[in-house]
């Protein structure tokens, strides 16, 4: 309930929305039947942007249910998670995130400039040459440590509005910056903790569904998530500024601790160090038991 009050724009916010963002909702509301937008291949509307795949409501519902169930079964399927995110982002949640960007001077600049986050646009050698503890150096050190590339984010396909499609793409490409900001690793335990933080901050349904993957964690990891990382995620996600409005490309030389303070995000306990200490303790006990 607290999350809904913290992040919802409500009916008043929808009433003030510009005409171009309301148009998809008005079109849907005026339809006499939920099935009269079914598109056969010859009658499917033309795409609104490169790569766009127009879907009717029935197709989107099928995509959401199928990708959601399958991604719960196999959380490593990034393609399924991406499809579920897009199928469930409309008609409300992606517009809420778009509104958050339109309400921020920095967010509006991001929407105007539409920067992309790739290994080319960021100039990775430049990031490695930055001073320690800068945002850019923290980000590239995290990429190198986790073996991750910024070029692996799937393109948005199933969101009809072109600007909203970019909002989702921006969120997707900024995900690794959120990892670097919090220090959470890409292991399942770290991903679940970060998704809980993202849900509290963005309200995207996909991030909320991903939190249920905590049920697949080992018992000690589950206890640690419930006792430490879930409270951290809710507290910081709710109080932090909208992270979608960070122009990361302009913050690369900023001290990462200063950026955390500005955003209102505290670093959680170092999960990688905790897991390493646990492994070493298990090896020590195993060695003692074998003596």
Question: DSSP 3-state assignment of 246?
Answer: coil
Instruction: Please say if the pLDDT value at position 241 is more than 60.
Output: yes
Q: Name the pLDDT band for 75 (thresholds 50, 70, 90).
A: low
Alpha helices in the chain (DSSP H): 2-7, 10-15, 19-29, 57-73, 78-89, 93-102, 105-113, 119-122, 124-128, 135-146, 162-182, 188-202, 205-211, 219-224, 230-239, 256-263, 271-290
- Which value, in Å, is the radius of gyration of the alpha carbons in the chain? 21
Give the residues across from 134 on adjacent strands. Answer: 255
Instruction: Identify whether the C-beta of residue 161 lies closer than 8 Å to the C-beta of residue 180.
Output: no
Question: DSSP 3-state assignment of 39?
Answer: coil
Instruction: Please say if the pLDDT value at position 28 is more than 70.
Output: no
Instruction: Please say if the pLDDT value at position 211 is more than 80.
Output: yes
Q: Name the pLDDT band for 9 (thresholds 50, 70, 90).
A: very low
Q: Name the pLDDT band for 76 (thresholds 50, 70, 90).
A: low
Q: Name the pLDDT band for 252 (thresholds 50, 70, 90).
A: very high
Question: Residue 172's pLDDT is what?
Answer: 95
Higher pLDDT, 20 or 215: 215
Q: Show binding-site residues for Zn(2+).
A: 175-176, 179, 191
Distance spanning both ends of the chain, measured CA to CA: 55
Using one digit for the tens of pLDDT, what is the confidence trace for 96-149? 999 999 999 999 999 999 999 999 999 999 999 999 999 999 999 999 999 999
Q: Name the pLDDT band for 44 (thresholds 50, 70, 90).
A: confident
Buried b (16+ CB within 10 A) or exposed e, 141-167: bbbeebebebeebeebbbbbbebbbbb
Using one digit for the tens of pLDDT, what is the confidence trace for 272-286? 999 999 999 889 888
Q: Does the model's pTM come out above 0.95?
A: no
Which residue, among 97, 108, 117, 73, has the nearest Cα to 210 in the 3D structure?
Answer: 73
Q: Name the pLDDT band for 57 (thresholds 50, 70, 90).
A: confident
What percentage of residues in the chain have a pLDDT greater than 70? 84
Instruction: Identify whether the C-beta of residue 153 lies closer than 8 Å to the C-beta of residue 175.
Output: yes
Instruction: Please say if the pLDDT value at position 41 is more than 60.
Output: no
For residue 104, the 8-state DSSP code is: S
Indicate the Cα dihedral angle 179, 268, 101, 28, nearest 10°. 80
Give the mean pLDDT of the chain: 85
C-alpha span between 162 and 156 (Å, rounded): 10
Instruction: Identify whether the C-beta of residue 46 lies closer than 8 Å to the C-beta of residue 159.
Output: no
Which residue, among 109, 113, 114, 142, has the nearest Cα to 127 in the 3D structure?
Answer: 142
Q: Show binding-site residues.
A: 175-176, 179, 191
C-alpha span between 270 and 236 (Å, rounded): 16
């Amino acid at each position: 309930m607290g999350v809904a009050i913290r992040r919802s724009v409500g009916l008043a916010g929808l009433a003030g929305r510009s005409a171009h963002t309301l148009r998809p909702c008005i079109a849907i509301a005026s339809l006499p039947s939920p099935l009269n937008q079914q598109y056969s291949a010859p009658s499917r509307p033309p795409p609104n942007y490169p790569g766009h795949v127009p879907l009717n409501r029935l197709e989107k519902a099928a995509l959401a249910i199928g990708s959601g169930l399958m991604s719960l079964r196999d959380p490593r399927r990034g393609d399924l998670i991406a499809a579920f995110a897009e199928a469930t982002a409309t008609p409300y949640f992606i517009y809420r995130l778009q509104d958050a960007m339109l309400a921020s001077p920095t967010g509006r600049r991001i929407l105007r400039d539409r920067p992309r986050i790739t290994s080319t646009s960021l100039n990775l050698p430049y990031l490695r040459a930055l001073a320690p503890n800068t945002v850019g150096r923290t980000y590239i050190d995290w990429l190198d440590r986790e073996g991750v590339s910024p070029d692996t984010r799937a393109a948005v396909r199933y969101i009809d509005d072109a600007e909203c499609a970019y909002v989702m793409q921006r969120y997707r490409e900024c995900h690794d910056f959120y990892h670097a900001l919090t220090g959470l690793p890409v292991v399942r335990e770290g991903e679940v903790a970060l998704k809980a933080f993202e849900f509290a901050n963005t309200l995207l349904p996909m991030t909320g569904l991903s939190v249920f993957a905590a049920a697949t964690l080992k018992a000690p990891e589950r206890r640690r998530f419930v006792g430490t990382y879930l409270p951290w995620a809710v507290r910081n996600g709710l109080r932090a500024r909208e992270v979608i409005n960070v122009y990361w490309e302009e913050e690369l030389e900023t001290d990462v601790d200063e950026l955390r303070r500005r955003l209102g995000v505290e670093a959680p306990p170092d999960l990688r160090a905790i897991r390493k200490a646990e492994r070493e303790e298990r090896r020590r006990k195993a060695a003692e038991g074998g003596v």
